[in-house]
Amino acid sequence: MSAVPTIRQLLVRPRLCSTALNSSSSPFLSYAPSLHFCPSSLRVLSSSSSPTLTQEEADGPVGKGSSLIDVNPPRGTRDFPPDDMRLRSWLFQNFREVSRILSFEEVDFPVLESEALFIRKAGEEITQQLYNFEDKGGRRVVLRPEITPSLARLVIKQGKSASLPLKWFTIGQCWRYERMTRGRRREHYQWNMDIFGVSKVRAEAELIQAVVLLFERLGIKSSDVGIRVSSRKVLQAVLQMYAIPENLFTQVCVIVDKLGKITREEMEKELVSLGVSTKAVNGIIEVLSLKSLSKLEEVLGSEGEAVSELKKLFSLAESYGYADWICFDASVVRGLAYYTGIVFEAFDRQGKLRAICGGGRYDRLLSTFGTDDIPACGFGFGDAVIVELLKEKALLPDLSHKVDDIVFPLDEVLDGTASSIASSLRKKGRSVDLVEDKRLKWVFKHAERIGASRLILVGNSEWERGAVRVKNLSTREEFEVKIDELD
């Protein structure tokens, strides 16, 4: 029986793939590809013996025996052992702190939602990959692919009891189901900030400031990352120029967003089959190539909302002081069907990674749920690409485990005393590890491993004097301290 992975396993398991292999724009990618296999002392999964496994899962570690479980989480999902969890908590703490600074309130929703909330017919990737199923009561439910529809649902539910504008943020896990390929995952966490009830681009300006403040807190500079900004109203204006019916707008946006993933020819074909003339397709592509607002103004004129809103946003960016972070790029459309106005996405200037976050205005989402519309905009910021970027820029902080004290009784009869000392230090808020039945050598190694500041040795001779031996583990100094003076 062997617990050593075969070459094939090393090649095909998603967690073993370098993220550099990924060219997709999907946010569902692993940030902590880790290579954990069972040590040989532990029996591991036999792929042929478990009744619940399909061949797709059978490329895990191989062993023999009839009652062995797979030690991996479900395909495409992650465990967070302590190191990964500290990284995640640190990132989420930054999300929360920026949200607090912007005066947003945190909300949350069930990870399981009604499928009806996500059924849209515009051909979006996100709705094609729904992690949906029927529950035992015959209900169509999904592990949510995104959080915006839940936010909108809660806004409707709160109704008049909530005073607009609402500024809400949330951090939650999102899911998708698709055939697994290299390095892609089925879940990721997403920070969302959304403003309901502000129709002016002030809302977008605030959201972009939040994104910039987050980058700055993480040590990322505007020379590392930029934020591309455009507006769906640009495409809308082009459609009007070519007299394309308004009801095609959403589908055109979803198709146009695929450029880069599909060829220009494929995109043209999709647009033409939707009923867009070849002339209009060329017009669309021409406008999408624009990278300056003045050029856009030349093409569309200065009267329309597209140009005036973008100009206002860039002017506010100057006032906020983040103008060097943003640039106009008409090719930004974003893939979600419901965006109606300004859209934006953050990207690494080296062009190695997928979009770091994306957002935009969605003023007409609520009416698709059968209620009156409320102007709204927001963004989603995943937990995967940002960590890849931080790793690449060597900006990950030291997040090792830290503990204040280790209390160690040198004799079994002193375990009560050790309990009482640990308890008293803990009541003062100190983090205390209580160790017994180990050799002193192990305790010192352990102290290093858990980043302990002090070692408190409870020995018989000191105890007789009402004292303990305290070793400061950074200075290596040792003192005898009276138990009631310990703090």
CB nearer to its own copies: pick between 120 and 295:
120
The rounded distance, in Å, linking the Cα atoms of 101 and 389 is 24
Q: How far is the CB of 426 from its own copies (least distance, A)?
A: 5
Q: How far is the CB of 40 from its own copies (least distance, A)?
A: 9
Cα–Cα nearest to 98, from 386, 394, 347, 338: 386
Asked if 125 and 335 touch (Cβ cutoff 8 Å), the reply is: yes
Helices (H), 321-454: 365-368, 385-392, 415-427, 440-449
339 is in an annotated binding site: yes
182 is in an annotated binding site: no
148 is in an annotated binding site: yes
88 is in an annotated binding site: no
Q: How far is the CB of 114 from its own copies (least distance, A)?
A: 6
The rounded distance, in Å, linking the Cα atoms of 131 and 143 is 6
CB nearer to its own copies: pick between 117 and 299:
117
Asked if 242 and 265 touch (Cβ cutoff 8 Å), the reply is: no
Two structure tokens written together for 65: 């025996």
Beta strands 376-382 and 432-434 are unpaired
The rounded distance, in Å, linking the Cα atoms of 204 and 341 is 10
The rounded distance, in Å, linking the Cα atoms of 55 and 274 is 39
The residue written with tokens 């190694």 in the block is 445
Asked if 72 and 53 touch (Cβ cutoff 8 Å), the reply is: no
CB nearer to its own copies: pick between 380 and 409:
409
CB nearer to its own copies: pick between 24 and 371:
371
338 is in an annotated binding site: yes
CB nearer to its own copies: pick between 111 and 274:
111
CB nearer to its own copies: pick between 93 and 350:
93
Q: How far is the CB of 290 from its own copies (least distance, A)?
A: 26
The rounded distance, in Å, linking the Cα atoms of 302 and 298 is 8
Q: How far is the CB of 243 from its own copies (least distance, A)?
A: 28
Two structure tokens written together for 433: 């590890």
Q: Report the first-to-last Cα separation within the chain, whole angstroms.
A: 52
Burial of 102 (0-12, 13-18, 19+ CB in 10 A): middle
Asked if 487 and 438 touch (Cβ cutoff 8 Å), the reply is: no
CB nearer to its own copies: pick between 188 and 334:
188
242 is in an annotated binding site: no
Q: How far is the CB of 417 from its own copies (least distance, A)?
A: 7
Please state whether the peptide bond connecting residue 33 to the residue before it is cis, i.e. omega within 30 degrees of 0: no
Q: How far is the CB of 397 from its own copies (least distance, A)?
A: 16
Q: How far is the CB of 428 from its own copies (least distance, A)?
A: 9
CB nearer to its own copies: pick between 117 and 285:
117
334 is in an annotated binding site: yes
Cα-only R_g, the chain: 28
362 is in an annotated binding site: no
The rounded distance, in Å, linking the Cα atoms of 74 and 53 is 11
Asked if 355 and 25 touch (Cβ cutoff 8 Å), the reply is: yes
Q: Which residues are annotated as a binding site?
A: 146-148, 176, 190, 194, 334, 338-339
Q: Which residues are annotated as a binding site for L-histidine?
A: 146-148, 176, 190, 194, 334, 338-339
